[in-house]
Amino acid sequence: MSLHVKQHVSTTEIMIGAIAGMLAGLGHIAVGASSPIPGSAALLTRAQSNGRTRVSVLGSRDNNPFTDGGRELFDCAGQGRIDAFFLSGGQIDGAANINLVGIGDLDDYPRAQARFPGSFGSSYLYFVVPRVILFREEHTPRTLVEKVDFVSAPGTSPPDVYRPGGPHALVTSLCVFSFDRKRGRFTLASAHPGVMAEDVRAATGFDYDAPARVPETLVLDAASLELLRTKVAREVAETYPAFAKRTWGV
């Protein structure tokens, strides 16, 4: 890709492209509530799959075959019929634990420092979906922490626990981390264009591994960007109108 095109790719589009690169070839991708970035990546993957990829977006009228909300999603996941899902959290730590409950002394509610929306089915889906991609736009030491204040969903489990699912990667506004489930540890897989490895280290509250030379995150090619900004953007706008308007003016 030319430098001219790279200069016009937003951080949001870099994140979408990074996630989409992890979804190619999958059969069924599910997207939960309030997930416009991975939802965009999933719809872009479907648009490029010639009908081979199915996408289910909770909260969508046009892209959700479920009639009973999350319950049908959970049934599909438990039956092994969902290949990828996405989770985020107010806090994510170096063991890929996520916190969707709150920070501070949660035993002293309501005087805890902050309360998050809640865990819903995150822990269940984290255990049964084989490829769970974590995402977080804000990449700071307060969001990517050494240890979460509350474990809504654990990144790893003891060896005697049956767990076909778990974390695959973490995509942020600065970089992409891969996750080794056996070691329970992240590795810096790439830094986004214009981001240095030391920038990532300074903004991250947990320790992680990194190669001597950190690759640059691949940016969508011109054809994929055009598809994302037109057909896919209109599809995204059906579920996430404010996001689509802010990102693409759709």
- The whole-number average pLDDT for the span 116-126 is 88
Q: Is the dihedral of CA 87, 82, 165, 13 positive or negative?
A: negative
* pLDDT at residue 111, as a whole number: 62
What's the pLDDT band for 5 if we cut at 50, 70, 90?
Answer: very low
Reported as a single tens digit per residue, the pLDDT across 192-246 is 999 999 999 999 999 999 999 999 999 999 999 999 999 999 999 999 999 999 9
Look up residue 229 and give its two tokens: 């900004």
Neighbours of 26 (CB within 10 A): 20
The per-residue pLDDT for 77 is: 95
SS3 219: coil
The pLDDT, as a whole number, for residue 108 is 67
Pairing of strands 167-172, 131-136: parallel
Q: Which among 143, 145, 18 has a CA at the least distance from the CA of 86?
A: 18
Tell me: pLDDT of 98 over 60. yes
CA distances from 163 to 60, 65, 74, 129, 181 (A): 29, 27, 15, 9, 11
Strands (E) across the chain are located at: 28-31, 54-57, 84-87, 91-93, 98-99, 102-103, 114-115, 131-136, 144-145, 167-172, 175-180, 185-191
* pLDDT at residue 109, as a whole number: 59
Tally the domains of the chain. Answer: 1
What percent of the chain has a predicted confidence (pLDDT) above 90?
A: 80
Can you give the pLDDT at residue 228?
98
Nearest one of 247, 223, 226, 227 to 237, comparing CA atoms = 247
Instruction: State yes or no: pLDDT of 112 exceeds 70.
Output: no
- CATH number for the domain that contains residue 144: 3.40.1080.10
Cα gap 179→170, rounded to integer Å: 8
* Boundaries of domain holding 196: 3-248
Is residue 249 over pLDDT 90? yes
Q: Judge whether residue 94 has pLDDT over 50.
A: yes
Q: Would the pTM count as exceeding 0.85?
A: yes
Lowest mean pLDDT among 9-23, 90-104, 196-210: 90-104
pLDDT at 78 over 70: yes
Mean pLDDT value across the chain: 92
pLDDT band at 2 (very low <50, low <70, confident <90, very high): very low
Taking only the tens place, the pLDDT of each residue in 139-197 is 999 999 999 999 999 999 999 999 999 999 999 999 999 999 999 999 999 999 999 99
Check if the beta carbon of residue 43 is closer than 8 Å to that of residue 32.
no
Distance CA 76, CA 240 (A): 24
